[in-house]
Amino acid sequence: MPRYPSLLPITTHTLHYGMGVFEGVRAYEAEQGTSIFKLDQHTNRLMNGAKIMKMPVPFTKEELSEAQKKVVR
């Protein structure tokens, strides 16, 4: 995947107060290729955590799921 420079506004709340949302996932090699265990549930929890913390997510659930799949390929 191509790398791009990170753009982080100086007013970002996380930069000053360390807020964040984290969800750990596991990926396994399977007959049909690499598979992410319970991807849908993990992505839902990530989105819900961001909502609870009032953190806007500029991506859809589907976009986040596809990005995770690309990372493990």
pLDDT in tens, 27-39: 999 998 899 999 9
- The pLDDT value recorded for residue 59 is 96
In the chain the domains, ranked by start, together with CATH numbers, are 21-72 (3.30.470.10)
- The pLDDT value recorded for residue 10 is 82
- The pLDDT value recorded for residue 1 is 55
Q: How far apart (Å, rounded) are the C-alpha atoms in residues 26 and 43?
A: 12
- The pLDDT value recorded for residue 3 is 76
Q: Which residues of the chain, if any, have pLDDT below 70?
A: 1-2
Report whether 53 contacts 18 (CB < 8 A).
no
- Provide the 3-class DSSP secondary structure of residue 36: strand
Report whether 29 contacts 4 (CB < 8 A).
no
Threshold 0.85, pTM exceeds = no
